[in-house]
Chain A
Amino acid sequence: MTVLWAGLTMGSVYTLVALTYNMTLVLTGVLNFATAQFFTVGAFTAYAGLTQHSLPLPVVLLIGAVLGGLVAVAEERVAIRPLRGHGGHTELVTTLGVSTVIAGAAIVIWGPDPLRVTVVPERTWTVLGGQVRPNELLLIVIAVVATLGFHVWTHRSRLGLAGLARTEDEDAAALRGIDVRRLSMLGFAIAGIFGGLVGPVMAQTTYAVATIGLVLALKGFVAMALGGVGSHLGALLGGTVVGLVEAFSNRHLGNDYGDIAVIVILALILLLRPTGLLSKGEPRLV
């Protein structure tokens, strides 16, 4: 049971990263390599705010959200907007550059060693026969709530629908009076604010450490592809599947099989459903 909780916790981490990928994909049409680093921004803000300066939690979360949003919007301005209409997937290089800058800056400021972040008190509860920590439960709750929130927002709100329309056909969307630029900026802002807000909670599980961005970027990517590119519910499903498969195969088959099991499951699902579990359309990205 404890392994189940652990799998769900890591699943939530992957879900959150996949959701953030989706947000920029749906609204901006860009695969943002720096997505996972928005959480890094939140994580280090939490370390600086809570551990170094003993600020109250709400203030720290606010600073995290603002910083995350600013970093994301800056990224959009500097690394995405100038590329509009060029094609050629240059954004894979520029967002990789942004990711490198964020990780590099974190190392310069806080060093390469992992730092402990305590957002909610450290204790262990027994829930449903397994041990779990409050911060892990919180992470699971956040993942579920955020998924539902994003899903409803995307399918109900005017901007969300505009984003969906943009995914279908950018030119047509522009013709229908949708401001593609503003949408793009919005996608990044939401992703950044979200990362800055959730990063502190995530860091209590993973530590604030500059090198984690790349690991999460990859696993979040797997979760997104598994669930279906652009589908928020798919991100939750994909993240949870990756987290659980990894945890249980590590537990029962041995460490060398965790990643292999994930690859096998992914290959199987994608062979049967190339667009992922919950995506309806063709992914129009590459």
Chain B
Amino acid sequence: MRITPGRTIRTGAAALALITLSACGGGGTGKADSHGPFRVLAVLPLSGALAEQAKLQMSGLQAAADDLNGRGGIGGRKIEIASVDDKLNPTEAVSRLQSRLNGSERPDYVLAGATSNETLAMLPALTNARVLSGTTASDRSMDDPKKYPYHFGYQSANDQNYASAVRFMKTRGVRTLAFIASNDALGTYNRSAIENAVKGTGIKLVAQSYDSKATDLTAPLDALRSARPDLLLASGYGPAVGYILDARQKLNWSVPVIGDSGFAGSNPASLVDSSALKDVLIQTFKVAALSERGSWQPATERMVKAVAAKGPVKQIITLAAEPYDALQVLGVAAEQAGGTDPADLKKAMESLKRPSPVPWTTYAAYAYSTKAHFPVVNDSDFSYLPASVLVQGQFEASS
């Protein structure tokens, strides 16, 4: 009986090679072809509740691929992008991923899901296959270079985002902070993030969570109001954003609100009447704030145009900007590593020398290290804006 994992893969691959005659070019043998195209596979929820967001991520990838291919691709290899729909289902995601990992067109880089559930399910297979991956999902449990050495997040987790937001609140004199988040994976993580972020700042935190399927949030908001907070930090996605603002208005509660990046991405102005948006700010990356044009990274304007050319931008632009950045960062890493070997790329990513000008758009520096594979946030990456309508994925209002 064969027992070791290494053998397993070889055995499986041999069996596969026997029956799939198309398995030329080293299908499943553990190494991608280093001369052919640089294959990028996006495993995304292209159907279902997050379909629009996933499509925008695809636009970002394609825009970056066009840009990079115009300059010779990644490490001299032309980028080819393929996508599969995982229907927001972790099991389906792994199924789809594995069939590609074992197939003839083995990916060099995988955009692994839009939520932490999908990503966490795929990471063991990706790690086993030593394939570089990244995702916009941001749960710190994925930022574990020992466990998942080839995974690099390209959205900072909310522990950093919230810490930045708390520093902003301090300047506004907030003493009691209310926080509301859903009880799903992201919301639960966010709640622990804000608890850590307020530690030692002297800010008192009151928190409530709500069921991700709830349709009325009057009760948790009323409970928060009774603690008389100076500010409400709201985390949410989709209809919940509307329910939160609705309930606040219904309760006649004038507390100022800061919505986190997910909240901002849900385009609150499309969900509620403008009267419900009084004193509502959103924490957003500068790349999504038209008024911050002056302090954008130099490549931003080009990226926004290129993404818009790929299709209508109905969601917040960061969804495209971050995958765009992911490929750009890879491109820089490949240059510095002098090739596209996964181990070399990984090493180059962990000690990336910041080029000038930077080809990416969202963060000033991604600043990965051997200890952290999530981007490092600077307060200057963010902007706090009134929630206005999104135009081409960007907020028009200025702070």
Q: Which residues of A contact B (CB under 8 A)?
A: 2-3, 5-7, 9-10, 13, 107, 111-114, 116, 118, 122, 124, 126, 131-133, 205-207, 209, 211-212, 215, 246-248, 250-252, 254-256, 258-259
Contact = CB atoms under 8 A, between A and B. Distances in A.
Contacts of B250: 2, 6, 124, 131-133
User: Closest 6 interchain pairs by CB?
Assistant: A6-B218, A250-B219, A251-B219, A114-B239, A122-B273, A255-B209
Given A3-B219, A209-B239, A107 B51 contact: yes
Interface string B131-145: 000000000000000
B220 interface: yes
Place the interface of chain B in its size category. 35 or more
A255 B52 contact: no
B272 to A, nearest CB: 7
Contact of B219 (A113, A118, A122, A248): A248
B219 A207 contact: no
B358 interface: no
B386 to A, nearest CB: 18
Contact of A116 (B51, B211, B219, B271): B271
Contact of A215 (B183, B208, B215, B252): B215
A219 B267 CA distance: 28
Given A6-B250, A13-B215, A131-B252, A112 B220 contact: no
A2 B209 contact: no
Nearest to A249: B219
Contact of B242 (A107, A116, A250): A116
B49 A211 contact: yes
B210 interface: yes
Contacts of A252: 223
Interface in B181-236: 183, 208-211, 213-216, 218-220, 222-223
Given A113-B238, A255-B208, A2 B251 contact: yes
B216 A247 contact: yes
A111 B52 contact: yes
Contacts of B251: 2, 131
A10 to B, nearest CB: 5
Nearest to A206: B215
B52 A113 contact: yes
Contacts of B266: 113
Contact of B49 (A5, A112, A248, A259): A112
